[in-house]
């Protein structure tokens, strides 16, 4: 079997059934825009299996924001200046 995405077939395909390998091979033969659509649909299908209650998500975020705010007010956390965060992100994006 030929490598699919630059990895040896035995490594890349170890956990795939022959049906999944065939589907992947066919998907990789599609034009890039169609491959992107297929990838997006596959990723969305993974999220759909783990739907969360929006109220629970909102409550969790509220609790996290409160926890972080308390740490700042108590002097336990000072944060990082935006300029530093941006410089780190840009440096990380430049790495090959």
What's the pLDDT at 48? Answer: 65
Query: Rounded to 10 degrees, what is the CA torsion of 23, 27, 42, 10?
Result: 60
Q: Which two tokens stand for residue 35?
A: 């491959």
Q: Decide: pTM greater than 0.75.
A: no
Contact assessment for residue 13 and residue 21, using Cβ atoms and an 8 Å cutoff: yes
Contact assessment for residue 9 and residue 2, using Cβ atoms and an 8 Å cutoff: yes
- Alpha-carbon span 57 to 63, nearest angstrom: 10
Q: Is the pLDDT of residue 58 over 50?
A: yes
Q: Is the pLDDT of residue 23 over 60?
A: yes
**Which is higher by pLDDT, 46 or 91?**
91
Contact assessment for residue 3 and residue 24, using Cβ atoms and an 8 Å cutoff: no
- Alpha-carbon span 56 to 62, nearest angstrom: 10
State the pLDDT confidence band at 12, using cuts at 50, 70 and 90: low
Query: Rounded to 10 degrees, what is the CA torsion of 53, 59, 63, 66?
Result: 140
């Amino acid at each position: 079997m030929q490598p699919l995405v630059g990895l040896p077939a035995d490594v890349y395909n170890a956990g795939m059934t022959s049906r999944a390998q065939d589907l992947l091979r066919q998907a990789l033969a599609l034009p890039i825009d169609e491959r992107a659509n297929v990838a997006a649909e596959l990723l969305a299908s993974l999220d759909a299996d783990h739907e969360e209650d929006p109220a629970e998500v909102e409550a969790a975020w509220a609790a996290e924001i409160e926890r972080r705010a308390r740490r700042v007010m108590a002097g336990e956390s000072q944060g990082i200046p935006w300029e530093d965060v941006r410089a780190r992100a840009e440096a990380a994006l430049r790495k090959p």
